[in-house]
Structure 1
Amino acid sequence: MAASAPVVPALPGARSASPAMIWSALAIVYVVWGSTYLAIRIVVEAQIPPMLGMASRFLAAALLLATFLALRSGAGRLKVTRRELLGSGVVGLLLLAFGNGAVAIAEQTVPSGLAALLVAAVPLWLMLLRVGGGERPRVLTWIGVLIGFAGAALLSISGGDTSAKPLSVAILVLGTISWAVGSRFSPRLGLPKDPLVATTYEMAIGGTAMVLIGVLRGEPARLHLGAVDTKGWFALAYLVVFGSLLAYTAYSYLLANAPISLIGTYAYVNPAVAVLLGWLILSEHVTTTILLGGAVVVLGVALVVTAERRPAVATTSSAAPAKGAGAPPSE
């Protein structure tokens, strides 16, 4: 689960672009999505309630994106059908309100690096959903899943060596499951064909749901704008501009121009970026257990990626496009 990216349908068109552009976009996804875990941690440490903070992030991004689309192409571009609106709403709830929201709530006690490592298990949940749908993965895929879950279990019990609370870890795991479910079924929900429009509605609906959840959690009573320091506001602005706009644009470009097996490498590069930034900037305590568990998760995901990308070698350039931005290479 990238902590900041909504699921959108792949852009139409041929997958042809310069290697420099592809790798530039991929670098943005690697670094920015990996850094959002750090930014979320800074936001919640600045006494911004998690659900209201993330709600303001996605609502602001949705407003900016909608304004841009309306000014560039006219307000008619934002018109969607009832089914498209409903599909966007479901994705917004599963990925943003429940998925990203769980990350924000958990990071009140879970270090950003550990959170990213746990989220790296999303491709493994996706594989189990595929099995539930009647698919029969390869033996190597199963090996990767078992190794990945062993790593996730190791990370889950590492809370005794950090400030992480077991309940926070459990909330985070539930969030990854929600993200996986949304990623798996988003292609069947009839999302708007225009990915920018789909993202606008996903963020608007997901952000609105976060406001409601925040109110139910009593967050407005804990929000004191005058107590929020400059770092907190800067981190929130970073999430809006870079996490919800720049990285998404780069990802949309990749979906239209790069193979999904390459795009999906973000699933195991983001955690490395998050752990490094958390250690460098927030002095987060990185234990041997966390490093070992993270390495095991990455190994498991890498095996799943290796197993699932093999059929793509035999496909032609006219193969069907990737299913969605939230889907890892196994999708």
Structure 2
Amino acid sequence: MESSVRDRLLTMLAPVSWGTTYVVTAALLPPDRPLLAALLRALPAGLLVLLVVRRLPPAPIWWWRFLVLGIVNFAAFFPLLFFAAYRLPGGVAATLGAVQPLMVAGLAWLVLRTRTPARQLVAALAGVAGVALMTLTAQARLDPLAVLAMVTGVGLMALGIVLAKRWGSPEHPLVSTAWQMTLGGLLLAPLTLAVEGLPAALTVANAAGYTYLATIGGALAYVLWFRGIERLGPATVSLLTLSNPLTATLAGLVVLGQTLAPAQVAGLGIALAALVVGQALGRSTPRPAEHRPQPAGR
């Protein structure tokens, strides 16, 4: 039990750190450079972890698996995330991101044949409602392309959770983290140079923002995230992402001086309750048989 609680808390640190992405993007990063933000969040973090582990993928099959996961989790997801972060209010992006547990439930049934308990689905729906109430306002701007980018990105991240659960981890989660981020970053590099190029100069604030995203929001967060995917069920992991919009809202209060109306306070309470109850239900519900990863030679 203590190990399970510790695994949940450590895994939750990842979406908590990601909840600061919107504030960091708005306050520290240069405008309209989603590809550069994606590249500098993925590649330096991947190389840093790779320097620590210093291991090649253990079998040929893991090269393409890491490549697929690197595309899903980083090369495709990060540009979509930052495109949406630049063009959508944090509240709209957070609400769209909150549907991820529902996407994971559907993909887990299709790919893993794992049914998410109805009580956890109700908790996920309550989480979406709470986040929407907490973050959406009548003045929220809806950029259709940014909304599409965010929904697609959330779907890709949900797919990444399910695929990582299906395939497992060949060794330590650090190996998986290192190669996914490195391969994803290497794919982003030529696209970034061709489309956006490099800025003529970076301010101290820009450098601080990119460094934070690469270390705290990148290397450290994804090491904890992939560790959690390996140890916890997909529904349990996906419900932890509700801490992302909660953190984004609190960061807006502290850093940007935003305030909450009574309805938003109620939404904050509903989303927090959904997060806590969803984790409690995950502990009380018998876990289905683990989907064993296929042998590396297949």
- Which of 204, 207, 214 does residue 185 from structure 2 map onto? 207
Cα distance in structure 2, aligned partners of 1:225 and 1:176: 32
Does structure 2 conserve the Cα–Cα contact (< 8 Å) formed by 1:59 and 1:208? yes
Cross-structure match for 2:102? 124
1:119 Cα deviation from its structure 2 partner: 1.7
Cα distance in structure 2, aligned partners of 1:267 and 1:181: 14
Aligned-partner residue type, residue 60 of structure 2: R
- Tell me the alpha carbon deviations over residues 150-173 of structure 1, each in whole angstroms, 9 at most, x when there is no partner: 5677789x4751355232122111
1:77-92 correspondence runs (5 A)? 77-92=55-70
Aligned-partner residue type, residue 81 of structure 2: V
Cα distance in structure 2, aligned partners of 1:150 and 1:244: 28
Cα distance in structure 2, aligned partners of 1:231 and 1:294: 30
Structure 2 unaligned blocks of 5 or more: 294-298
1:213-292 correspondence runs (5 A)? 213-214=191-192, 218-220=195-197, 223-226=198-201, 228-251=202-225, 266-283=240-257
- % of aligned pairs identical? 24
Relative to structure 1, the CA distance from residue 48 to residue 285 in structure 2 (aligned partners, 3 Å threshold; closer, same or farther) is farther
TM-score (norm 2): 0.76
Relative to structure 1, the CA distance from residue 191 to residue 256 in structure 2 (aligned partners, 3 Å threshold; closer, same or farther) is closer
1:18-167 correspondence runs (5 A)? 25=10, 28-29=13-14, 31-44=16-29, 46-47=30-31, 49-70=33-54, 77-133=55-111, 134-147=113-126, 158=136, 161-167=139-145
Relative to structure 1, the CA distance from residue 172 to residue 292 in structure 2 (aligned partners, 3 Å threshold; closer, same or farther) is farther
Aligned-partner residue type, residue 217 of structure 2: G
Relative to structure 1, the CA distance from residue 80 to residue 174 in structure 2 (aligned partners, 3 Å threshold; closer, same or farther) is same
Relative to structure 1, the CA distance from residue 266 to residue 208 in structure 2 (aligned partners, 3 Å threshold; closer, same or farther) is same
Cα distance in structure 1, aligned partners of 2:189 and 2:119: 42
TM-score (norm 1): 0.69
Q: Secondary structure at the match of 1:275?
A: helix
Q: Secondary structure at the match of 1:225?
A: coil
Cross-structure match for 2:296? none
Aligned-partner residue type, residue 98 of structure 1: A
1:202 Cα deviation from its structure 2 partner: 0.4
1:80 Cα deviation from its structure 2 partner: 3.4
Cα distance in structure 2, aligned partners of 1:171 and 1:255: 24
Aligned-partner residue type, residue 242 of structure 1: I
Q: Secondary structure at the match of 2:252?
A: helix
Does structure 1 conserve the Cα–Cα contact (< 8 Å) formed by 2:72 and 2:160? yes
1:192 Cα deviation from its structure 2 partner: 3.2
Structure 1 unaligned blocks of 5 or more: 1-14, 71-76, 324-331
Aligned-partner residue type, residue 218 of structure 2: S
1:126 Cα deviation from its structure 2 partner: 0.8
Does structure 2 conserve the Cα–Cα contact (< 8 Å) formed by 1:61 and 1:245? yes
- How many corresponding residue pairs? 292
